Every structure is written in structure tokens, then in C-alpha cells.
Structure 1
Amino acid sequence: MHLSEIPQKLGQTRTVLLLGASLLAMLVFGMFLANADRGQLVDETRQLQHSISNLQTENEQLQTQANQLDIKLELAEMRAEQLKQEVVRLEEVVFNLQKDKAFYQHVVAPETTQDGFFIDGLELFETTTDGYFKATMVLLQQRAVSAIVRGDLKVAVTGIQNGKHRILTSDDNAILPEGNVTYGFKYFQPVTLYLQLPENFEPESIEFTTTVYQYKRRRG
């Protein structure tokens, strides 16, 4: 090798070293960036896992609260049903007490009531014949000094026929095949009557009216 070639060789070596150093620096910088990105991804992953854990905990708490509310709702519905049944029972008790009170008031202390009589124990049955109903009741005297009361018991039935409200009376519509009920009693009189209602008539209520006569005088 001539002395003149040494500077040329040194220049080439310097260039190679610079390129190597540059490549090494780029490699180190790339590894640094990769580690930085990896660390950021790890942090983000941890944050996401923490958020997921919090959401799972919150979901479990909400599910527990929902289950508790379902149980409370079921208990409230059961209590409401019990109260409803209790109200129905008490209404029945009150009705029976009022009925007993009315009966004893009219029988034992009729002087506290108005003239005439009252109807007790009314029961209405549908017979095996279409449109025919059977009614049973007891007519009870109301006056303290019981004398025979007389009169005719008339009937009016309110209901729906072909979608229209209608009132049928024993005077105008012949709903009593045997005619108006004629009564005459001193203390009480059992009564049985039959109602004949037209086709497609749906009864809703029944009303009795009469003019009471005592000693040939009108009493109520």
C-alpha cells in the first residue's frame, strides 16, 4: 500500500464507522420508542382493567339493589293482597252487622222505624228455564203495635237489552207470570215469586215498591 492510498482508506473507514454509529443510534432510539409505547400500552391496559373491575363491581351492586327491590315489590304486593282480603272480610262483617242490626231493630224495636214493613233475606236464583228467575224473601212488620198490613208488591228490574238501558216493571211488562204479589200479614210473611225476563236482557238490579194499607188506611 502506498502512502498516498492511506488517507483514502481512512476516509472510507470513517464513513463506515459513521454509518454504523448512525444505525446503532437509530436502533437504540427505536428500542427506546418501542419501550415507551409498550409502557404506555401497559398503563392504558391497567387503566382499562381497573375501569372494567369498577364497572363489574358497580354492576354487581346494581344487580343486588335490583334483587332487593324485586323482593320488596313482591312483599308489598303480598301485603296489598292481604290488606285487600282483609278489607273484603271487614266489609262483609260490617254488612252482616248492619243486616243483623236492621233485623233486630225492626223486630225488637220497630217503634224506631217508619210505618210499613221491610224485606229481609232476599235471594235471587236463575232457574233451568231460560229467562226465568226465582226470588225468595221475608216481609217483616215494622210497627210496635202489630196489626195486619195489606197491599200488592210490585217489581221493577233494571238492566241492559241489546246494548240499551231498560227498566222492566211488573205493571207494564208482565215480568211476573203470576201477577203482582198480594200480601197480608201481622208479623211476617215468606214470599216466593218467579220473574220472566225477555231474551238478551241482562238484569243489573231489582226494586220492590208497594202501598201499605192497615185498617183500610194507607200507612206507607
Structure 2
Amino acid sequence: MKKAYFSLTYWRQRLGRLPVTLILVAIAIGLLLLGHYSGHWRLAYLQQSHEQQQQRLDELYQQVERMEYQQHVHRVELDVERASNQSLQQELAIAQDENFALRRELAFYQKIMAPELEAEGVMIDSLLLRPNVAPGHYHFRLALIQLERRRELVKGEVAMTLRGRVNGESRRLDLISISQLADVDRQFAMRYFSLLEGDFILPTDFVPERIDVQVTLASGSNRLLERSFSWSRLLQPLTEEERELAESLEVSLDAEP
């Protein structure tokens, strides 16, 4: 009996041919409408998804264009900076050559007039002394340079003596010791330049007069360089020429590998 429910003949016999036909037509129309609206909804969903994807794609294109523009700007800036740096390097090299030429000329005359100031192409270049904020507190910087073009490694030892008076009596102090520098700081091994810097406090009632610098080169001859600097002269403002020379030394030292 259950199988009869699925038989078209059964329903035609029970309801008649026309009602069954109308029911079948209604079902077919319903299925067609359902398929139509389902397809329409699917199409609308796909169109909306496509628009979203297209919008996202446009945003990505814009981001790529911005990044390419920024990359181009950075590349141009880098090229300009590299060109400027090369120009500065060339100018610095020229200035160094001129500086060393002048120093070699100076060394030539020093060998004649003051041979104790130069030995084996090494010279005591300068001693800068500046007061710090605290009273009686000072900072010094001693510069040694090589004048020879070969610029071989030079080793040696530095001694600095601060001479003055206490209550009219002569006194001398080891400047490196009172600056609390280690013994290893007295030693140097240099090519081009060597700097020794430190800070010290003058003892009470000590009246400084001069600083004596001695440099012993650790070669077979153990050559000794000596130079004295007046305390009052060290505390005077630098001349324009001395300031340029000090700045040139600092720049040259920073530029060396």
C-alpha cells in the first residue's frame, strides 16, 4: 500500500487527472522559482565578493606604489649621501696630505733648530689643557704624531711631569699618576697618531708652572723626545691656527681605521 503513494496512477485514479497535473505543474513552477532566486542570490553574493576583492586589490596596488616611491626616494637620498661622503673623503685626504706636508716641513726645521722635539719621524705635536667645572680640576690631552710617509708601527712610553711650587719651594708631580691613569696608559703603539687624555686635581697650595713631556721610543736607539709647556700659556685661549690644527687632528684621528 505504501508503494501506491508514490505511484502517479494511484493519485490520478484517486484525485483525477487534472488535479494531479496541476499539482505537478505547481511543483515544477516552485522548483523553477526556487532555482531562480537561489541563482540570483548566489550571483549577488559573488558580485559583492568580487567587488570586495577588487577593492582590496586596488588598495594593495596603492600600497605597492607608495612603497616603490618611498624606496626610490630613499635610494636617491642614499646616492646623494654616498656622493657627498665620497667628496668629503677626498677633501679630507687632500687636507691630510697638505697637513702632513706642512708637518714634514716643520720637522725639517726642527731637526736643525730643536732636534730633541723629533725622532724617527715621531713628534710631540701638542698638549691641550682645559679647566673643568670644579675649581682646581683640569683635563689634558697629549697628541703624538708620525711625520714619515712609511707610518710604521711605533712603540714607546710617555712621562709627564707637572712642575710648580708650594710655599715658594719647588715641587714636581707625576701628572699621569695624579690623573689616576694606569701604568699601561703610559705605553703606546701607534700608527699615524696617539692620544693620551686624563683629568686631575691640583693639590692644595700647589702653584703650577709648567708641564714637561718626555717620550721614549722603544727602538734600538731608545731615542728620547722632550718638550716643555708653560702652564700660563696652556691656559690661554687657542689662536685660530691652533684651533684649526686641533680640529684637524681630531678629524684625522676619527677618520683612520
TM-score by length of 1: 0.46
Structure 1 or 2, whichever has the larger Rg, is 1
| Greater share of helix | 2
